[in-house]
Structure 1
Amino acid sequence: MKSLFNFSKLAIILSFVLLSIRVHSQPSSKSYKGFLRVYSQTGQMISKGQFVFINDSVLGIKRLKEVSTINKSVIGFVKTKRSGGHNVVIGAAAGGAIGIALGVGTADPDSWFGYSAGEGALGFGILGALGGGLIGGLAGLVKEPMVFMINGNEGNWQTFKNVMVHFKK
Structure 2
Amino acid sequence: MKNLIFVITLVLISNAYAQNGLENTNVFLRVYDLEGKKISKGKVLSILDTSLQLVRNGQPMEIPVRSIGSVKTKHSGGNNVLIGAVVGAGTMAVVGVATADPDAWILAYNAGEGAAAGALLGGTLGAMVGGITILFKNTNSYEINGDTAKWKAFTEMIVNN
Which bin holds the TM-score, normalised by the shorter protein?
Answer: 0.7 to 0.9
In 1, are the aligned partners of 2:24 and 2:46 still within 8 Å (CA)?
no
CA distance in 2, matches of 1:121, 1:31: 41
Q: 141, 144, 152: which one pairs with 2:135? A: 141
Give matches, 1:89-108, under 5 Å: 89-108=82-101
CA distance in 2, matches of 1:157, 1:31: 17
The unaligned stretches of length 5 or more in structure 1 are: 1-29
Question: Comparing 62-71 with 105-114, which one deviates more in the overlay?
Answer: 105-114
User: Which runs of structure 1 show a deviation greater than 4 angstroms over 4 or more consecutive aligned residues?
Assistant: none
2:69 partner SS: strand
- C-alpha change, 1:31 and 1:74, in structure 2 (3 Å) is closer
Percent sequence identity over aligned pairs: 41
2:101 partner SS: coil
1:87 partner SS: helix
CA distance in 1, matches of 2:116, 2:146: 52
Query: How many matched pairs?
Result: 138
Q: 22, 40, 52: which one pairs with 2:45? A: 52
Q: 35, 38, 50: which one pairs with 2:31? A: 38
- C-alpha change, 1:125 and 1:44, in structure 2 (3 Å) is same
| Cα deviation digits, residues 54-106 of structure 1 (max 9, x gap) | 01111011011001011100000000011111111111011000011000001
In 2, are the aligned partners of 1:54 and 1:165 still within 8 Å (CA)?
no
**RMSD across aligned positions (CA):** 1.5
Equivalent position amino acid for 2:67 in 1: V
Q: 64, 71, 84: which one pairs with 1:71? A: 64
2:132 is aligned with 1:132: no
In 2, are the aligned partners of 1:84 and 1:141 still within 8 Å (CA)?
no
Q: 69, 74, 77: which one pairs with 1:81? A: 74
2:139 partner SS: coil
Structure showing greater relative contact order (alpha-carbon pairs closer than 8 Å, 6 or more residues apart): 1
CA distance in 1, matches of 2:29, 2:89: 28
Question: Comparing 65-74 with 139-148, which one deviates more in the overlay?
Answer: 139-148
